[in-house]
Structure 1
Amino acid sequence: MTDAERRGRPAPGCPAHSGLPRRAFLGVLGVGLLASCASRPPQPGAPAADALAPPAPTEPPIPPASPGPSRTLFSGPAAGGRIALTVDDGTCADCVRGYVDFVQRSGIHLTFSPNGTYGREWEPHAARLAPLIAAGQVQVMNHTFSHLKLTTLPDDRVRSELERNEEWAERVFGVTTRPYYRPPYGVHDPRVDGIAAELGWTRSVLWSGSYSDSTTITPEFLMAQAEKYLKPGTIMLGHANHPTVLGLLDRIENLIRERGLQPMTLDEMFGTSRAGGIA
């Protein structure tokens, strides 16, 4: 056998090229046939293929609920120019996408408060949000599943609204929303807060500033609200419901930077963690 024939001969147990031109044969090998050779039993002393593969990544476990006394938050510590930007609901698919684009390109830290009933708007962005959540740039808090006024609901329905939204958030975002929840419309009472706290949502999050954009407003009014309320210690309320804000996000970012403010998630502002879901 000539050297050329030896070079063209396949390894034992591997398919020959059956007369294919060499370039075409190598292309086929690269796509599929080479894999069949790699799947042969290893030679004595060779490490098994599984031993060479890195361990599959695992998600951190969701911590159990940690009940405790209820506490209502309107604002946070102002030291260092801290502010907490929070974004509720998600009725507008373009708005959700625009906010995800914004946090991804700007690096600004922010807490989303989505309702699972708007899952169709949020779920397409779960993969983009995953590394931001893992890095602590983005947080998710509980805003209930259906956005109903909790004070009008019986105890079991209050529990269901919180637990159903938690189950949705864990499935989509891979993290717990505890210990923070925001009652829809900001309406709550000791009964509702007590039920939430028994389930591990020990911090009822309201706000000290708002863009007032739960309904359609003008760009001028929204920016006036931003200029009025974006100051140290503010928990700022926004909504992913109407597109007015989308054309203003860069202006809001500039305002934040001009004022030397430091946007933080609620975890960062109050010293909690998704790993523990508690203080």
Structure 2
Amino acid sequence: MSKQTDNRKLLARGAQVLALMGLVVSLAACGGQAAEPTAVPEPTSTPTAAPTDTPTPAPTDTPTATPVPTDTPTVTPVPTDTPTPTPEPATGRPPASPDIVYIGNPTTPDGDPQVNISFDVQGDPATLYQILDILDQYGVRTTFFMQGEWVEQYPDAAKEIANRGHELGNHSWTHFNFSEMTAEEVTKELNDTEAIVKEVTGQTTKPYFRPPFGSRSTVSLQTAYDLGYTTIIWTYGADEWRDGATAQTIFDNVYGNKAPGALYYTHTDRQIIVDALPRVIEAFQADGYKLVTAGEILAVQENN
């Protein structure tokens, strides 16, 4: 009995002790314990306002200033000497004609008597170069009638004639008889010669054609005209090709037949021509004659 009583007493005291201890703990928690520190919030980045495009004001038309008119200075041209053109001895070559030409104008536009001594090219050009030198010596420019085959064989000689300032005419390609040719044959002869002369010398043979031997027909005259040529024969020939010809006979046949407007012809391949030429030129010039080209002596003159 007493033993149970003691146990109950012990239990009661234990409960009291536990209660007391719980009270102490409660008081410590309420008053003596420091308050738990308040958490400091982490700093947050203050958001930077995103830049906004500043609107560019729309351009306004800048008023254009009205220019104040100023007097434009007048440029006074500096006077220059206007070159006076050298007067031509004639108004120019006549158009091609179907008529045969035997003689030219008797005088120059200045009234001087004039003649033409022309050359048909043929043979070895050795004497040709001597003829060119003589013409240069006396200041004479004339007309050389070019044969196509000869130009093909002696292009340098043909070029030298042109380089010396002489006029060129057409003398056919083959040197055949034109009185027996068809229109087609005449056309080929003249066109082929014109082509090679232009290729070699840069000059044309138009508008003058001298047929070999002076041979012609109605067909050849009309065909040459259709191609742009006037057929030229001669007033007198030097006849240096005849048997027994000499420098004296050449002089007699040319100067001995002195006539204003006369057309004389000779060739380029005989030494007797070289021998006679200076004397012939000197005689004409001493009489006041001008030795001119076919183009000059046949030109349309203002007083005609």
TM band (smaller chain): 0.5 to 0.7
Once residues 90 and 97 of structure 1 are traced to their aligned partners in structure 2, the CA distance between those partners, rounded to angstroms, is 13
Confirm or deny: 8 A CA contact 1:209 1:230 kept in the other structure: no
Following TM superposition, by how much is the alpha carbon of 1:211 offset from its aligned partner in structure 2, in angstroms? Answer: 0.8
Code of the residue aligned with 2:249 in structure 1: it is F
Q: How many residues align?
A: 202
1:83-98 pair list within 5 angstroms = 83-98=115-130
Q: Pick the structure with more helix per residue.
A: 1
Alignment partner for residue 231 of structure 2, among 204, 207, 222? 204
Following TM superposition, by how much is the alpha carbon of 1:68 offset from its aligned partner in structure 2, in angstroms? Answer: 5.8
Code of the residue aligned with 2:126 in structure 1: it is D
Alignment partner for residue 145 of structure 1, among 153, 170, 173? 173
Confirm or deny: 8 A CA contact 1:231 1:261 kept in the other structure: no
Code of the residue aligned with 1:258 in structure 2: it is A
Normalising by structure 2, we get a TM-score of 0.62
Code of the residue aligned with 1:239 in structure 2: it is H
Once residues 158 and 131 of structure 1 are traced to their aligned partners in structure 2, the CA distance between those partners, rounded to angstroms, is 28
Code of the residue aligned with 2:281 in structure 1: it is E
Confirm or deny: 8 A CA contact 2:178 2:186 kept in the other structure: yes
Cα 1:129/1:227, change in 2 over 3 Å: closer
Confirm or deny: 8 A CA contact 1:116 1:165 kept in the other structure: yes
Equivalent position SS for 2:200: helix
Following TM superposition, by how much is the alpha carbon of 1:209 offset from its aligned partner in structure 2, in angstroms? Answer: 1.3
Confirm or deny: 8 A CA contact 2:145 2:171 kept in the other structure: yes
Following TM superposition, by how much is the alpha carbon of 1:232 offset from its aligned partner in structure 2, in angstroms? Answer: 1.1
Alignment partner for residue 133 of structure 2, among 77, 101, 107? 101
- Cα deviation, 1:109-152, whole Å, max 9, x if unaligned, reads 2100121212266422345434433xxxx100001011111122
Confirm or deny: 8 A CA contact 1:87 1:112 kept in the other structure: yes
Once residues 142 and 253 of structure 1 are traced to their aligned partners in structure 2, the CA distance between those partners, rounded to angstroms, is 24
Q: Where does residue 185 of structure 1 map in the other structure?
A: 213
Once residues 96 and 68 of structure 1 are traced to their aligned partners in structure 2, the CA distance between those partners, rounded to angstroms, is 29
Matched, 1:225 2:253: yes
Matched, 1:214 2:223: no
Which one has a bigger Cα radius of gyration?
Answer: 2
Following TM superposition, by how much is the alpha carbon of 1:169 offset from its aligned partner in structure 2, in angstroms? Answer: 1.1
Q: Where does residue 163 of structure 1 map in the other structure?
A: 191
Unaligned runs of 5+ in 1: 1-65, 273-279
Once residues 122 and 264 of structure 1 are traced to their aligned partners in structure 2, the CA distance between those partners, rounded to angstroms, is 25
Once residues 67 and 152 of structure 1 are traced to their aligned partners in structure 2, the CA distance between those partners, rounded to angstroms, is 26
Equivalent position SS for 1:236: strand
Equivalent position SS for 2:120: strand
Following TM superposition, by how much is the alpha carbon of 1:67 offset from its aligned partner in structure 2, in angstroms? Answer: 8.4
Once residues 164 and 131 of structure 1 are traced to their aligned partners in structure 2, the CA distance between those partners, rounded to angstroms, is 21
Once residues 218 and 130 of structure 1 are traced to their aligned partners in structure 2, the CA distance between those partners, rounded to angstroms, is 28
- Cα deviation, 1:28-87, whole Å, max 9, x if unaligned, reads xxxxxxxxxxxxxxxxxxxxxxxxxxxxxxxxxxxxxx9865121100111221111110
Cα 1:247/1:200, change in 2 over 3 Å: same
Code of the residue aligned with 1:81 in structure 2: it is P
Instruction: Give the RMSD, CA atoms, in angstroms.
Output: 2.1
Following TM superposition, by how much is the alpha carbon of 1:167 offset from its aligned partner in structure 2, in angstroms? Answer: 0.8
Once residues 96 and 122 of structure 1 are traced to their aligned partners in structure 2, the CA distance between those partners, rounded to angstroms, is 11
Confirm or deny: 8 A CA contact 1:90 1:96 kept in the other structure: no
Alignment partner for residue 145 of structure 2, among 94, 113, 116? 113
- Cα deviation, 1:170-216, whole Å, max 9, x if unaligned, reads 11221111111011101112111111111111x11011111111345
Q: Where does residue 132 of structure 1 map in the other structure?
A: 164
